[in-house]
Chains A and B, each alone.
Chain A
Amino acid sequence: MRLRSLILWDIRFQARYGFYFLYAVLTAIYVAVLSAVPEGGREKATAILIFSDPASMGLFFMGAIVLLEKSQRTPAALALSPVRAEEYIAAKVVSLSAISLAVAAVLAAAAGVGAGEHGIVKLHIVLPGTVMSSAVFTLLGIIIATRIGSLNQFVLWTVPVELVCFVPAILHLFRAAPAWLRYCPAAVCIDMVSGHAPSPTGVMTVMALTAVLFAAAKHCVLNMWAQMGGAKL
């Protein structure tokens, strides 16, 4: 019940600050761009677009979200409420993943990602891939955002994270990476986003990474709450 309320409030917050409008505009632009890409390269272009924008929006926006909450003293109120850190994190992951999911579905359908002879778009692979990528990026965003004091600092700290996540993924997508890199979580995610079924080992790797990041994010959120108004004795 508490989690549902938190998710709804996060969705309202994101709607108020124009996330839905922004992604509606971006989706229209991306669909137009993808329709101009030659058919041979459209699937890869769509995978890169989904992976680097809607899926990673949690990493891009989390600094501003957390800083705005800090300036509105929301963490101080949350620290004293019955809300648990896990619920706070889960609400952010779910609400941002919902936008990622909607945008990815439109882009994948428009570009025909993974459509074989029968022309059926493999949304059952693309969408779970988008959710998994979105969860990882949002958790990374929370870990960084809870530790910084300004937006410029956040942008700076996300650069190495983006390099570590995007470079192996894109190299893997173009088959320019060593074979062992296919188990790298970023490579598994972009494989799924491009409509290719992952190996069970790959999925396990992403799950394990998500669990580790979730634990780290919980630790960071509790620290932030303690500093912003909770008890730190």
Chain B
Amino acid sequence: MRAIRSGFLQMLVFMRRDMMLSAACLAPVLAGLGIRFGIPFLEAVLTERFSRSAVLSPYYALIDIFFSMLSPAMFCFISAMVSLEEADEKTAAYLFVTPLGRKGYLAARFCLPAAAAFLVTAALLPVFGLSTRSLADILSLSAGGTLQGVIVALLIVAFSSNKLEGMAVAKLSSLLIFGAAVPFFLRQDAQYIMSPLPSFWIGKAVFEDTLVFMLPAFASSAVWIRFLLRRYLRKI
């Protein structure tokens, strides 16, 4: 446990040196302020300009989903980049033979940042969310967003062998979050083409206002994480 704590603190030191730590703390709050005050203002401007009763407000729940994925995406992306640099410089292999070990390394680089992202999201969503939600909604959205962040981080480290490939995979994998928008825009059965994506089920749970749909979101996340973790561990 001490080794995991040290491993996590070591990563925080790297992040502080790059000013990423302050950015990771500030960005969700700034984005939250932008959403909480900017989107309703924009809605007022757009409804007046286009003489419509609603332009953005039907999608407030979708904006909340994207906000719930923001902190996990940031925290996990930073962890993925640190891991990628460590894999690039071959320091990860050395860390595996220290008391930290493989499991400890994974806990320090992915589990602890994900846990921090979950807590931050659960704390910020009730403050900056645009639609009113119950405690169960907030906790499950935060958990879904966190799992999505972990999947993106694992995709980056599992499918790239250097920073450049990491950025390319990050670009492609960031598109996975848009699965959440599908139930809002595609009402026919064709929407189920996106069902392998956890974000699709998160979108479905919010759109249908039925928490049961979070179960396939968690189950598909588990499948993705298991597959990616195995590939990552085989690679390093």
| CB–CB A26/B172 < 8 A | yes
Q: Mark B163-181, 1 if CB is under 8 A from A, else 0.
A: 1111110011001000000
Chain A neighbourhood of B77, CB < 8 A? 155
> Is B85's beta carbon under 8 Å from chain A?
yes
Please encode chain A, from 126 to 154, with 1 for each CB lying within 8 Å of some chain B CB and 0 for all others: 00000000000000000000000111110
Do the beta carbons of A61 and B167 come within 8 Å of each other? yes
Docked complex Cα distance between A169 and B186 (Å): 29
Q: Are A152 and B164 closer than 8 Å at their CB atoms? A: no
Q: Give A63 to B18 CA distance when docked, in angstroms.
A: 14
Using CB atoms, name the residue of chain B closest to A13. Answer: B164
When C-beta atoms are compared, the residue in chain B nearest to A30 turns out to be B175
**CB <8 Å contact, A152 and B168:** no
- Once the chains are docked, how many angstroms separate the CA of A29 from the CA of B179? 12
Interface: A67 (CB within 8 A) = yes
**B148-168, CB under 8 A of A: which get 1 and which 0?**
000000000000001111111
Contacting residue for B171 out of A22, A65, A151, A152, CB 8 A: A22
Contact with A along B1-31 (1 / 0, CB 8 A): 0000000000000110011100100000000
What residues of chain B lie closer than 8 Å to A26, measured between beta carbons?
171-172, 175
**Contact indicator B172/A151 (Cβ below 8 Å):** no
Q: Is the CB of A65 within 8 A of B164?
A: yes
Chain A interface size, as a band, is 20 to 34
Most buried by B among A19, A29, A156: A156
Contact B18–A153 (Cβ < 8 Å)? yes
Closest residue of chain A to B167 (Cβ to Cβ) is: A64
- Rounded to whole Å, the gap between the CB of B45 and the closest CB of chain A is 7
Q: Which residue of chain A has its CB nearest to the CB of B15? A: A152
A36 to B45, CA, bound (A): 26
> Are A25 and B172 neighbours in the complex by a CB distance under 8 Å?
yes
In the complex, are the beta carbons of A151 and B23 less than 8 A apart? Answer: no
Chain B 65-96, CB within 8 Å of chain A: the 1/0 string?
A: 00000000000011001101100100000000
Task: Among B23, B45, B81, B164, point to the contact of A68 (Cβ < 8 A).
Answer: B164
In this assembly, does A60 line the interface, its C-beta being within 8 Å of a C-beta of chain B? yes
Min C-beta distance of A146 to chain B, whole Å: 15
Nearest-Cβ distance from residue B158 to partner chain A, whole angstroms: 15
B48 to chain A, nearest CB (A): 12
Are B168 and A22 within 8 A (Cβ)?
A: yes
Q: Are A68 and B163 in contact (CB under 8 A)?
A: yes
Is there contact, CB below 8 Å, between B165 and A18? yes
Decide: A152 near B81, CB < 8 A? Known: A22-B172, A64-B166, A68-B163: yes
Let me know if A29 and B175 touch, CB within 8 A.
Answer: yes
Chain B residues whose C-beta falls within 8 Å of the C-beta of A68 in the assembled complex: 162-164
A60, B185: Cβ atoms closer than 8 Å? no
Whose C-beta in chain A lies nearest to the C-beta of B163?
A: A64
Q: Is A17 engaged at the interface, CB distance under 8 Å to the other chain?
A: yes
Q: Does A176 count as interface, using CB distance less than 8 angstroms?
A: yes
Docked pose: A71 CA to B168 CA in angstroms: 18
Is there contact, CB below 8 Å, between A156 and B18?
yes
List A contacts of B23 (CB < 8 A): 156, 159
Q: Please state if B168 and A17 are interface contacts (CB–CB under 8 Å).
A: yes
**Which residues of the other chain, A, contact B166 by a CB distance below 8 angstroms?**
64, 151
B15 contact set on A, CB distance < 8 A: 152
B42 — nearest CB in chain A belongs to which residue? Answer: A176
Task: List the B side residues contacting A22 at CB < 8 Å.
Answer: 168, 171-172
- Enumerate 22 A-B pairs (CB-CB under 8 Å) in ascending A order: A17-B162, A19-B168, A22-B171, A26-B172, A36-B185, A60-B167, A61-B164, A61-B168, A63-B167, A64-B166, A64-B167, A65-B164, A68-B162, A68-B164, A71-B162, A151-B166, A152-B15, A152-B20, A153-B18, A153-B19, A155-B81, A156-B23
Q: Which A residues fall within an 8 A CB radius of B?
A: 17-19, 22, 25-26, 29, 36, 60-61, 63-65, 67-68, 71, 149-153, 155-156, 159, 176
- In addition to A150-B85, A153-B18, A156-B18, 11 A-B residue pairs with Cβ atoms within 8 Å of each other are A17-B162, A22-B168, A22-B172, A26-B171, A64-B162, A64-B167, A150-B14, A151-B81, A151-B163, A152-B82, A153-B20
